[in-house]
Amino acid sequence: MILTPENFIQFAMKCYDNTQCVSIKEFSSDIKRFKFLNTLFVRYKEDNILKERLILNHIIIIYNVFGINATPMLFFKVDDAFASQLTTFLLYLNYMPDKINGVSYSNIPLDQNIIDALRKL
């Protein structure tokens, strides 16, 4: 399925697997994690402030509740300008597949500052 703004929420609901979720409010808070990642990447790009642990936490929670379908969802919702940063984190967590929707992401450069920060963890 190709993600579009019109079908993203429907796709997310189909993939959502959180046994502790009891309301739509919890689902919405998990969806907001995509926006939080964008905000954290903007802060990193503009102010050089990297909150690597917070970014890792958001990504891990997204994968915990959306499973392997989180990868295309992340690349859809996170701004294309942050593909390098996102890819670096996904490779660190061993979540990065060879292809997403038939597109290879192996040619995306990695962010050396993020690599250095993640090596210190």
The predicted-structure confidence for 80-92, as pLDDT tens digits, reads as follows 999 999 999 999 9
Strand residue runs (E) in the chain? 99-100, 103-104
Structure token pair of residue 72: 């295309």
Query: Per-residue pLDDT tens for 42-59?
Result: 999 999 999 999 999 999
How far apart CA 86 and CA 37 sit, in angstroms, is 9
How far apart CA 32 and CA 9 sit, in angstroms, is 12
**pTM to 2 decimals?**
0.92
How far apart CA 97 and CA 77 sit, in angstroms, is 17
Q: Give the residue from 88, 92, 90, 93 showing the smallest Cα distance to 111.
A: 88
How far apart CA 63 and CA 45 sit, in angstroms, is 24
Asked if pLDDT for residue 104 goes beyond 80, the answer is: no
Residue percentage of the chain with pLDDT more than 90: 82
